[in-house]
């Protein structure tokens, strides 16, 4: 059993497809351990994406992630990290395989519907970034 962090990004929240995206997780062996809808501040979004600070798209990414509410979710299941990444599809929705979340619900690389941890170690850190111990019992 693994845990991973998913974020439903502002574009998908605005499209009213929170339930449809969670359906994909639940239909593919992942379970919601904890979930909350929040508005990220610039500081929180910047810290979360600190790894991308030097990338040319960093400011746009922070602006986008703070442009509306997001839904932060802890998912659990067998191979949850890899499974979630497969369900998400390619970072660029235009390259994502049909049937993946990004292919079906996103339009562009900067507004691409979901975030997902890319390793077990990052998943642990990202879950701890957003959730207290009591929230993920
Ligand atoms: P990932 O979300 O598939 O793991 P990362 O490379 O970790 O992709 O990038 C984090 C986020 O930064 C992406 O989901 C996307 O929103 C944004 N991003 C990545 N590359 C670009 C780009 O070339 N232009 C604009 N935004 C980008
Ligand atoms: Mg990433």
**Contact predicate 79/3, CB 8 Å:** no
Phi and psi at residue 3, to the nearest 5°: -120, 150
Quick one: which ligand is closest to 109's CA? 1
Below-70 pLDDT ranges, the chain:
none
**Contact predicate 130/72, CB 8 Å:** yes
Catalogue the E-assigned strands of 28-107. 31-38, 70-77
Q: Whose CA is nearest to atom 18 of ligand 1?
A: 110
Measured CA to CA, the distance from residue 88 to residue 97 in angstroms comes to: 9
What's the pLDDT at 3?
98
Distance in Å, CA 118 to ligand 2 centroid: 6
What's the pLDDT at 81?
98
Which residue shows structure tokens 């442009």? 67
Count the alpha carbons within 13 Å of 28 in the hemisphere toward its beta carbon. Answer: 20
Active-site hit among 3, 24, 85, 115 = 115
Measured CA to CA, the distance from residue 7 to residue 70 in angstroms comes to: 7
Count the alpha carbons within 13 Å of 55 in the hemisphere toward its beta carbon. Answer: 12
What's the pLDDT at 137?
87
Which of 60, 28, 38, 49 minimizes the C-alpha distance to 125? 49
Instruction: Examine the residue annotation and report whether 52 is marked as an active-site residue of this protein.
Output: no
Q: Count CB neighbours of 94 within 10 A.
A: 11
pLDDT in tens, 11-45: 999 999 999 999 999 999 999 999 999 999 999 99
DSSP 8-state class, residue 49: T
Distance in Å, CA 134 to ligand 1 centroid: 31
Distance in Å, CA 73 to ligand 2 centroid: 15
pTM value is 0.98
- Within 6 A (CB) of ligand 1 lie 52, 57, 61, 91, 109-110, 112, 115, 118
């Amino acid at each position: 059993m693994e845990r991973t962090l998913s974020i439903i990004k502002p574009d998908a929240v605005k499209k009213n497809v929170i339930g449809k995206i969670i359906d994909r997780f639940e239909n593919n062996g992942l379970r919601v351990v904890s979930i909350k809808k929040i508005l990220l501040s610039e500081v929180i979004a910047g810290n979360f994406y600190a790894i991308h600070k030097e990338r040319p798209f960093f400011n746009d990414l922070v602006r986008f992630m703070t442009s509306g509410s997001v839904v932060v979710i802890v998912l659990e299941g067998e191979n949850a990290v890899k499974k979630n990444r497969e369900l998400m599809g390619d970072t660029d929705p235009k390259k994502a395989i049909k049937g993946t979340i990004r292919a079906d619900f996103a339009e562009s690389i900067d507004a691409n519907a979901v975030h997902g941890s890319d390793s077990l170690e990052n998943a642990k850190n990202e879950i701890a970034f957003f959730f207290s111990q009591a929230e993920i019992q």
